[in-house]
Amino acid sequence: MSIVEVKVPQLSESVAEATMLTWKKKAGEAVAVDEILIEIETDKVVLEVPAPSAGVLAEIVQPDGATVVADQLIAKIDTEGKASAAAPAAAPAAAPAPAAAPAAAAAATGGSKSDVAMPAAAKLLADNNLKTSDVAGSGKDGRVTKGDVLGAVASGAKPAAAVAAPAAKPALPQVAAPAGAPDLGERPEQRVPMSRLRARIAERLIQSQSTNAILTTFNEVNMAPVMELRKRFQDSFTKEHGVKLGFMSFFVKAAVHALKKYPVINASVDGNDILYHGYFDIGIAVGSPRGLVVPILRNADQMSFADIEKKIAEYGKKAQDGKLGIEEMTGGTFSISNGGTFGSMLSTPIINPPQSAILGVHATKDRAVVENGQIVIRPMNYLAMSYDHRIIDGREAVLGLVAMKEALEDPSRLLFDI
């Protein structure tokens, strides 16, 4: 017998411990080299733990849900062992059903359909007694996402083996009652522990509100010039760069333009000092199945419109698939939150510490405005910038937001840096 140890990968310096999610293999099952055995959740990212060697999973040392630290032993692989007879014995039983063919094929190659479900989706599948084969995946390589499972549950999807079973009582939206739960009639409840990321988000938001003197200033911007410019060059831009020209690249460029004029908005508090940053790392708030994440556009001042759009698209995809790395979400000197994608008209965004300001972007709607004494219809967007009043005075905050407004209403300012 030759044993290879499976250990927790290295965590970032700011992460002390992590939580084991769900093992994809059982003890006694065969594993291939680099096959993902389990995901480990930190308060920032989900890390995949691949098999360091092919063989048989001889022992699972740390179970699902266990709290672990970097380099801790979690399993053992016997590189000379053979899979137990019980594991493959189940495959022929499913053979008569035509729908089981893909699963049998996957098993023959050492994998399973559950391997293509994202961590959050896998939990929902288990909660609803569903298999991956019961849900159509829309993620990369056909992976099943949390949204796929929620959509399937909402449409009344049932386990393949229990199609004829009586329908269960309605569950809470996005919450499925666990097996064996007491009958609560028409008022169901379910207590679910926060994920590490959700707990970290809560901690940081409370920290932000308790340590920063947060004030928010508002302004409105006529988005017609940006919309016209975008419409004019959309086709050629997409053909040239392989990505659509969105609005976020304009907001990023306008923000950098304002931060250069008023550097204190790009600064942060360090004890009794003000730390001015000579670079512009812009955080973009992105929703994910695990919660809100803020990946960073490094040196955004040096990025083209195409660079920004490509990076945002990449981050959005990674966020949905749970693939964002710690280094991609660390740092940042200023953030942008676009609630407009969800229809928000106005909000007061919370600063992402240790930053000192954040821009909130909202839905663009046709509104009646006055121009030259005449009432006209214009596509208007309300901008909100929350800032730390400890170091940013009202003057700099208001003028900074006005600079963003002017850059959006006359994009040529970005070309001439005026």
Q: What residues are labeled active site?
A: 389, 393
Calculated CA dihedral for residues 208, 292, 257, 341, nearest 10 degrees: -130
Q: Largest alpha-carbon pair distance within the chain? A: 87
User: Locate tokens 């930053």: which residue?
Assistant: 355
Which helix (DSSP H) or strand (DSSP E) does residue 413 occupy? helix 412-416
Distance of CA 132 to the CA centre of its chain: 21
Closest Cα partner for 221 from 241, 197, 251? 251
Six-digit token string for 300 = 């955004």
Which phi and psi angles does 407 have, rounded to 5°?
-65, -35
Closest CA to 360 of 335, 325, 378, 388: 335
The DSSP output letter for 180 is T
291 contacts 197 by C-beta, under 8 angstroms: yes
For residues 127, 204, 316, 137, the Cα torsion angle rounded to the nearest 10 degrees is 0
